[in-house]
Amino acid sequence: MEKEIALPCSHKTDASRMRTEVPALPVSALLALAMTGFICIITETLPAGLLPQIAAGLDISNSLAGQTVTAYALGSLLAAIPLTIATQSWRRRNVLLLAIAGFFIFNTITALSSSYWLTLAARFLAGMAAGLSWSLLAGYARRMVAVQQQGKAMAIAMSGTPIALSLGLPLGTWLGEIIGWRSIFAAVSALTIMLAIWVLARVPDYPGQPRHERMPLRQVLTTKGVRPVLSVVIVWMLAHNILYTYIAPFLASAGLAPSVDAVLLIFGLSALLAIAFTGKLVDRHLRSSVLVSLAVFALVSLVFMFFSQQPVAIYLGVAVWGLSFGGAATLLQTALADTAGEGADIALSMNVVAWNGAIAAAGISGGILLDNWGAPALPPALILLLAVAFVITWRARQHGFRKGARMGH
């Protein structure tokens, strides 16, 4: 009788390990997406840091120079959804390169233009490139990796924003004062050339979405959970930008008017640190991360309301605020893309509109609060808005901000 030969159990476990092993993250490709986000933000915010120089260079007032920021935001707001729909069938890398080319062309025009109206048009068109970029980046990052890696991939891809705010803008403003604002915009154009080469070398290409698979705009918007997530985007970003836009007058009440740059640096570095935590939490604890972030920001606002005259409380509060905000883009876009399913690209273009609309609304509503009741009116408004966002998130436990781990975990 033949003996039955038993295979070592290690063979079985090795095979199982091979089946469940997750490939390494494509870090270089994800960092290229982060660099794209960096260029979006730095292109948007540079005029704010170099406003007097731009006004002098174009022989206009500071208020007219400030409209270069408005034009950029309007371009993003108006173009995100139409451009996303128009390019749905295109190969994804071609769409990304188109947006990068837009930054190169329109930042170059801004650097060379001596006409205010030409500069304004270039800024509007650069904003259109940004709107297309933002609607593309999150979906692109998710597509590069396995489902259980999507949270970490998103965190890396979204890291360009806090880096631009914490390091890029202060550095760009400082260099602009030394070598001139036109040279800084030319330098950003040079960065886009390097980015295009990087994308061609390291970022994988994917086909567009076939016509028969596309979801109409109305169907995406009415998908269960999409509207609650977009509502939280609007309310959370409204609260954040009311304080961020008017941080200077708020700090003045604590005697910190000369320290705005230092405070914003603390905020930016804290937000950057939060990206690392978010990458570890988003896949298993997305819902609770959003709820905790909103609650922490509300508590910080409460501290600001009662201790607005205490510099130490302000510095600590800003650091904690940055920690609560740094992962917002990753958390909200992950929730939105998960909820929208096949309509993720369209939903993410709606996110661009919601995000930029909240920024514009914050400038208006925060200005009204400031003009009528002064800086002390800002924290109570934030607490009210954050309470609304918390309730929406809490109620969206089945669709939008689902309980438990994301699919794949």
- Given this model, what pLDDT does residue 402 score? 86
DSSP at 404? S
- Given this model, what pLDDT does residue 34 score? 94
Rounded-to-integer distance, Cα 216 and Cα 98, Å: 24
Tell me the whole-structure pTM to 2 decimals. Answer: 0.80
- Give 359's pLDDT tier (boundaries 50, 70, 90): confident
- Give 88's pLDDT tier (boundaries 50, 70, 90): confident
The residue with greater pLDDT, 297 or 156, is 297
Question: Would you call 177 exposed, middle or buried from its count of C-beta atoms within 10 A (0-12, 13-18, 19+)?
Answer: middle
Q: Under CATH, which architecture does the 214-404 domain have?
A: Up-down Bundle (1.20)
The residue with greater pLDDT, 316 or 241, is 316
Residue 20 has pLDDT above 60, yes or no: no
**What would the mean pLDDT of 366-384 be, rounded to a whole number?**
90
**What would the mean pLDDT of 44-51 be, rounded to a whole number?**
81
Q: Under CATH, which architecture does the 25-203 domain have?
A: Up-down Bundle (1.20)
Long-range (24+ apart) CB contacts under 8 A made by 202-206 are 202/26, 202/28, 202/29, 202/32, 203/29, 203/32, 203/33, 203/93, 203/96, 203/140, 204/26, 204/29, 204/93, 204/144, 205/91, 205/92, 205/93, 205/94, 206/91, 206/92, 206/93, 206/140, 206/143
Same fold, 25-203 and 214-404: yes
Q: Which of 13-17, 25-29, 92-96, 298-302 has the lowest mean pLDDT?
A: 13-17
DSSP at 86? H
217, amino acid identity: L
Q: How many CB atoms are closer than 10 A to CB 231? A: 17
Q: Which of 130, 32, 118 is nearest to 79 (CA)?
A: 130
Each residue's pLDDT tens digit, 22-36: 688 899 999 999 999
Rounded-to-integer distance, Cα 155 and Cα 158, Å: 5
**Structure tokens, 191:** 């960065």
Each residue's pLDDT tens digit, 378-387: 999 999 999 9
Please report which helix (H) or strand (E) contains residue 310, including its range: none
Each residue's pLDDT tens digit, 272-311: 888 888 888 888 889 999 999 999 999 999 999 998 888 8
Domain ranges of the chain: 25-203, 214-404
- Give 258's pLDDT tier (boundaries 50, 70, 90): confident
Q: Which of 36, 47, 27, 30 is nearest to 194 (CA)?
A: 36
Rounded-to-integer distance, Cα 56 and Cα 36, Å: 30
